[in-house]
Amino acid sequence: MKIFVIYVGGKTETSLIELHDIFFVVAEKIEDTYEEVKAKWWGVKKGFHIDAWGILESAEDYNITLTRQPTHVEEKLYFVNLGGYDSKKFTELHKNVFVIAKNESKAKVKALRQILNWESHHKDYLYEVENCCCVNNVTENKELYIHLEKTDKPKEFEFTCKYTPLSN
Residues of the chain with CATH 3.50.100: 62-150
- Domain 1-57+154-168, CATH number (from 3.40.50.1100, 3.40.640.10, 1.10.10.10, 3.10.20.10): 3.10.20.10
What are the CA-CA distances from residue 66 to residues 30, 36, 160 (Å)? Answer: 16, 19, 22
Strands (E), 44-123: 49-55, 58-59, 62-67, 76-85, 93-101, 120-121
pLDDT of the residue at 129 = 34
Across the range 107-124, mean pLDDT stands at 68
Please give the residue that has the higher pLDDT: either 84 or 48: 48
Residues of the chain with CATH 3.10.20.10: 1-57+154-168
Distance of CA 20 to the CA centre of its chain: 12
Query: Within 10 A of 33 (CB to CB), how many other CB atoms are there?
Result: 22
pTM for the structure as a whole: 0.88
Terminal C-alpha separation, the chain? 27
Instruction: Convert the pLDDT of each residue in 13-35 to its tens digit.
Output: 999 999 999 999 999 999 999 99
For residue 72, which of 151, 145, 135, 134 has the smallest C-alpha distance?
A: 145
Helix, coil or strand: residue 126: helix
Across the range 141-159, mean pLDDT stands at 93
CATH no., domain 62-150: 3.50.100
